[in-house]
Structure 1
């Protein structure tokens, strides 16, 4: 851990909502900027097909240690001047337990590019956030991030017990693997990445980043801490109001009158017990004001992780129209975020902002043809013949049932993959004219955002959000960024 650890961690949100631009702005303040490590292969391929405005991706790819691999990605996806409006984006290789070579290369290059751009020209701290549930993307995503000298890896949405060893192995240039969760599996299967096989003589010396496990309760933190093999370098302790996915309530799921999960005292982490472990920890979920930052520090935390303030900032990857719609609802005190227990194919509750012309509206959701083409949330299952198949509760119901899934599991499921891509202006446009609709996620605690909108009526920058959050923190707790 750095001698002066960041007080503020900017949340790793959505698909490229926590973009390299946002992460870089936060890192330049001396705090931790975080890029999303989810679906970066699709993000890179689509940005290249849109002509790479500004040339940023081409600059990053020129720095990739294996020029031939970067050239293969460029040749496949880059379109000078961008694709014609209405033209569908090219498909990319789907993730499997053994993703093909082209898919692995795209994942490595994409995550390298996003981290490299976030770190360009300074020594501020940059992290990458991945979801444990998106296992099939993890090894290649982390290899790409480590190649770009990422400082931190953050992971939640599951129990990330194998990530410390994976980081140790790939940082040393050795093959790394994690155990695959295969429904009904009778044998143990793995998802692997081999740095030498992929990069050969181009593989540089790499540095192992610190790993922060995102947990919801102290029991999980204690479990991960007890064994040095799976022990992280620190924790982010996240409450249920945080944006995106959250842990389900402990015990039997119960819903309130609005159809949202009910959380109780059993779902609150005992912070004193987390502090006793002796590792740095940050608090997340309803810690997005200067007063809550001060409170977190008084409880022994190293700092806080904040998402919503940065998702709404002028530097995030959300499209201008979507951001403005949310800011307008903030100005009018009408912005609402629902914790939907059914939306995510993962089965984890998922926060959905209630906005017009998005999949938060039932009629918009019902109008979307069910299909699963990006497939990041597909789960592997063992077929009767012993081979592995893949299914997603948000795919066409008849296909899910044919693969042995239960019809009840499909009800209310939304395609997060395509909805989150649409949030950042990279939604698919299909040959039949259908354009993917948005599905916006935020945290449910809007206290900080409501306060900031009174001071920054037209919206705030990431640096302004950081300055506000740190306004009660002693200067001695803050680090200074050095420029390259």
Structure 2
């Protein structure tokens, strides 16, 4: 009944997913920027040995050896030393970069599945197109049970999962502005390039697209490239990237997009599609779960409560500071239409002890996950409105598109204790995201200063046991 949200890079990490799955619910790891996260953990010394333990189980050992040789620092980085960066993505990923992506997602899923028999999922952003196929293949090598995808229209990924399960080449969309032909507008991934002898077929995970409209649900159910196993229906109160409002965007007096009746999802029409669905955004309470079940949903996806629990990847300092602020009613969540380079509205947390100083940050684009591609002078190039303004404009971007943009790539690393040091020695600032529910989290805390993932699940399931038993009793014994 509960799907743990696939929050920002490294927040829904393997520890959190493992803890949720041990409780019989669906734990989910974030698949965003896992290659950078792995190599930074190695550069910090992998003090508990978790990365190396999982890497030792990766079925292509020469890849593990190469990555350890290149990035592992047993004593960690010397103080004041920046992380060694990975090269920025190019339009065609080389074999070695694909293998790093495969290894990184394998490690995260392997650790999330370790020590229990529960289900584990991985969450990917459709918008970050180049790494997705290799990331999925690595996760499938580790036995991932479910794939969740939002921030775009992932219509080609059901067929990609079918192909990857059989180690066949897979194709996904690659949005290139001005591309002269369809071939340029595709990402290709061929598993056979990575094996001397192909292993046995892999399990094909369930596929759950994250949608925010009836039209998208209908299109995915009827026109996607393969099997859809259900939907996660996400409302505009959910954390991270939100779908933009339908129609012309209007802003309230706080500068936030205004959502109206056209943005509401008709759950009765969703139910007519005949697939299970889960509700996300503002549902993280026993009442929310009961309402979801009564509406015909299979359950809920919950992000905010899990994002600040003991096992979540946010640094302990940020978690304790934000929870303390919430107890004092000194925390706010704003839907910022400008912060994300993607153009999607993005939820941003502010609190009275927020250390981020974005005005002082020197613009730089050295991770590049959210860059957009365009075609010029016979080749695919990249630009990002959060990069240095002169460079963005020289690449054909409009200066007004840079206003208010923030480097989410570096901020998300800072959120989980992997902040890069800029050239002047200043660490990258954080940018915490959360759903609107954070404003009411003090009620759940009830005086506590911290809590576990198990506490969240116990709280959410309170009062729904009878409903769940009734639902099970109504299912035919042969189906059970």
The normalised TM-score by structure 1 is 0.94
Please name the residue that 2:189 is paired with.
Answer: 193
Structure-2 change in CA distance of 1:228 and 1:317 (3 Å):
closer
Gaps of 5+ in 1: 1-6, 479-484
Measure, in 1, the Cα distance between the counterparts of 2:126 and 2:440.
28
Query: Deviations 1:126-145 (Å, cap 9, x if unpaired)?
Result: 00000011001111110111
Measure, in 1, the Cα distance between the counterparts of 2:289 and 2:196.
46
1:27-426 counterparts in 2 under 5 A?
27-188=21-182, 189=184, 190-201=186-197, 203-227=199-223, 229-355=225-351, 358=354, 364-383=357-376, 385-426=377-418
Conserved? CA contact 1:217–1:268, under 8 Å: yes
Conserved? CA contact 2:331–2:439, under 8 Å: no
SS at match of 2:348: strand
After the TM superposition, which of the residue ranges 186-195 and 415-424 deviates more from structure 2?
Answer: 186-195
* Pair 1:435 & 2:427 matched: yes
Measure, in 2, the Cα distance between the counterparts of 1:58 and 1:134.
27
Measure, in 2, the Cα distance between the counterparts of 1:417 and 1:467.
33
Paired positions, count: 467
Measure, in 2, the Cα distance between the counterparts of 1:22 and 1:150.
15
Please name the residue that 1:463 is paired with.
Answer: 454
Conserved? CA contact 2:167–2:198, under 8 Å: no
Please name the residue that 2:437 is paired with.
Answer: 445
Conserved? CA contact 2:5–2:28, under 8 Å: yes
Query: Deviations 1:20-70 (Å, cap 9, x if unpaired)?
Result: 000000000000000000000000000000011210011100110111111
Measure, in 1, the Cα distance between the counterparts of 2:464 and 2:280.
17
Query: Deviations 1:377-411 (Å, cap 9, x if unpaired)?
Result: 0111011x221100111000111111111111111
SS at match of 2:216: helix
Q: Which structure would you say has the larger RCO, counting Cα contacts within 8 Å and 6 or more residues apart?
A: 1
Measure, in 2, the Cα distance between the counterparts of 1:44 and 1:253.
38
Conserved? CA contact 2:329–2:439, under 8 Å: no
Measure, in 2, the Cα distance between the counterparts of 1:258 and 1:227.
39
Query: Deviations 1:242-270 (Å, cap 9, x if unpaired)?
Result: 00000000001110111000000000100
How much has 1:449 moved relative to structure 2? 2.0
Measure, in 2, the Cα distance between the counterparts of 1:430 and 1:229.
43
After the TM superposition, which of the residue ranges 130-139 and 88-97 deviates more from structure 2?
Answer: 88-97
Gaps of 5+ in 2: 473-480
How much has 1:355 moved relative to structure 2? 3.2
After the TM superposition, which of the residue ranges 468-477 and 138-147 deviates more from structure 2?
Answer: 468-477
Q: CA RMSD in A?
A: 1.5
Please name the residue that 1:482 is paired with.
Answer: none
Measure, in 1, the Cα distance between the counterparts of 2:111 and 2:142.
9
Measure, in 2, the Cα distance between the counterparts of 1:75 and 1:202.
26
SS at match of 1:53: coil
Structure-2 change in CA distance of 1:392 and 1:196 (3 Å):
same
Measure, in 2, the Cα distance between the counterparts of 1:110 and 1:165.
23
Measure, in 1, the Cα distance between the counterparts of 2:430 and 2:223.
42
Conserved? CA contact 2:413–2:419, under 8 Å: yes
Query: Deviations 1:188-214 (Å, cap 9, x if unpaired)?
Result: 121121111023326443111000000
Conserved? CA contact 2:95–2:193, under 8 Å: no
Conserved? CA contact 2:212–2:243, under 8 Å: yes
Please name the residue that 1:473 is paired with.
Answer: 464
Conserved? CA contact 2:210–2:234, under 8 Å: yes
Conserved? CA contact 2:155–2:224, under 8 Å: no
How much has 1:102 moved relative to structure 2? 2.4
How much has 1:308 moved relative to structure 2? 0.2
Please name the residue that 1:4 is paired with.
Answer: none
SS at match of 1:144: helix
SS at match of 2:171: strand
Conserved? CA contact 1:93–1:102, under 8 Å: no
Structure-2 change in CA distance of 1:331 and 1:358 (3 Å):
closer
Structure-2 change in CA distance of 1:464 and 1:399 (3 Å):
same
Structure-2 change in CA distance of 1:162 and 1:182 (3 Å):
same
Measure, in 1, the Cα distance between the counterparts of 2:201 and 2:420.
38
